Amino acid sequence: MLQEIGTIQQFYRLMKETGEVRRRLVARIMEGRSAVPPDSERLGSYLQALKRIPRRHGRYQLSTGLSGSQRSLYLELDYEIDELEKDLVFFQYGEQALLDHLAGLHTGFQEELSGAAQFCRDMSLPLNCLVSDRDGTVNNYCGRYLSSIQSAYNAVFLSRFAEKAVRRAVLLTSAPLSNGGLEELTVSPPGNFILAGSKGREYLDQRGRRGALAIEAGKQEQLQRLNRRLADLLQDPRYRLFDLIGSGLQFKFGQTTVARQDIYGSIPKAESEAFAGVIQRLIREIDPDRLYFRTEDTGKDIEIILTVEGESGLKDFDKGDGVLFLDSELGLDLSRGGNLVCGDTASDLPMVSAAAKQSANLWTIFVSRDESLQARLRRICERAHFVSEPDVLVCLLNRMGREMG
Ligand SMILES: [Mg+2]
């Protein structure tokens, strides 16, 4: 039996281990071998360890485990638990059982899957390029960035599509690539996907090569200066907690994210606002004339973004800029057409615009029921389809991979 999970640090450690085990399992399946029982059983004991964490009002109680400022956080662990359960069904009972399990979780799952397959029937496979957002699109949404480890079934399904049904597959996210980034959260075998972090400013390609969009040296220095100060600040016992909740502290390429709250409201309002004030004062101190940074406070996260030169003055780097950078850097040949772009929020629309500029032979599938977002997408690309859950899209991609297999 695994050790009891009492602190949030132990919880993150356990989730990291699930990633290592899942990576081994997925590699075996993709090589056409069967999963090793000790590994799949291990996933079962991780699940049990999570379920043994004491609960209060339906939330899991974990202590911060920080000396001098120990306190309890009450977290929802839906993502972590649900995804482990799905993996167990997949390894113990097989793919059809998992599809049945998903159909039980999501009303109208089968209909949505058939509808999406119908939408794709005129695509000529293999496609040229898939460009997809991760969270909320091909990965179920998790309120904690550091524990949003990809599940094994998800990696198997997406890898099948990437290997068989498309020439180049790109996963593009706003999270950083490394050091607790996209790379560590991904369990699919290296080489299936081009992983692009920081909205496409940095990448790891299918041959394992890394690259990044150059940032002006002076601006980069300012960002590093800010990052050092933030890292020091989060060592202060009063603020260490903010490293452990929600988005935590993420040093992206050209952008830094600091959490001040999570989606569960774990931090009292006054404490969260006071911390936001501390961050704003620090930014004013480093950049009094607002030459380098633009900030955005979502209420959960404070985003500190290095400005870039756009066609009409200073602008934010968006995911569309990322797509165009990767196209020229990695030869995605988007202009050849036969491209599929997937996303779930308005921040993914620039990816569609960028791909549409390169070729009209474009397909889009968004995971969203938001009507105004749907209308905005349709104005950019007529060939648009919508589903309500990442699981539907992931199963659709699996089906397309299998058809080619
Ligand atoms: Mg998303």
Quick one: average pLDDT of 238-242? 91
In the predicted structure, residue 311 carries a pLDDT above the cut 60? no
Greater confidence (286 vs 309) lies with 286
Quick one: average pLDDT of 242-258? 92
Q: 63-105, pLDDT tens digit by residue?
A: 987 766 678 888 999 999 999 999 999 999 999 999 999 999 9
pLDDT of amino acid 91: 95
pLDDT of amino acid 263: 86
Query: Which residues crowd ion ligand 1, with CB under 5 Å?
Result: 133, 135-136, 344
76: helix, strand or coil: coil
Could you tell me the sign of the dihedral formed by the alpha carbons of 292, 297, 298, 301, in that order? positive
Residue listed under structure tokens 């620039």: 350
Ligand 1 center to 377 CA (angstroms): 15
Ligand 1 center to 139 CA (angstroms): 9
Could you tell me the sign of the dihedral formed by the alpha carbons of 259, 260, 263, 265, in that order? positive
Quick one: average pLDDT of 255-273? 93
Ligand 1 center to 108 CA (angstroms): 22
pLDDT of amino acid 129: 98
Q: Please give the domain boundaries of the chain with CATH numbers for all domains.
A: 8-201+319-404 (3.40.50.1000), 217-314 (3.30.70.3080)
Q: What mean pLDDT, rounded, does the chain reach?
A: 94
Ligand 1 center to 143 CA (angstroms): 12
Percent of the residues in the chain that have a pLDDT greater than 70, as a whole number: 97
In the predicted structure, residue 334 carries a pLDDT above the cut 80? yes
In the predicted structure, residue 309 carries a pLDDT above the cut 70? no
Ligand 1 center to 77 CA (angstroms): 19
In the predicted structure, residue 179 carries a pLDDT above the cut 80? yes
Q: 130-144, pLDDT tens digit by residue?
A: 999 999 999 999 988
Q: 40-52, pLDDT tens digit by residue?
A: 899 999 999 999 9
Tell me how far CA of residue 139 lies from CA of 62, 83, 186, in angstroms.
25, 10, 10
Ligand 1 center to 132 CA (angstroms): 9
Across 106-142, b (16+ Cβ under 10 Å) vs e yields eeebeebbeebeebbeeeeebbbbbbbbbbbbbbbeb
Distance CA 236, CA 282 (A): 14
Quote the pTM value.
Answer: 0.92
HSE value, Cβ hemisphere, 13 Å, CA-based, for 302: 22
Ligand 1 center to 345 CA (angstroms): 6
Ligand 1 center to 199 CA (angstroms): 11
Residue closest to 342 by CA, chosen among 318, 370, 368, 371:
368
H/E/C letters for each residue in 25-69? HHHHHHCCCCCCHHHHHHHHHHHHHHHCCCEECCEEEEECCCCCC
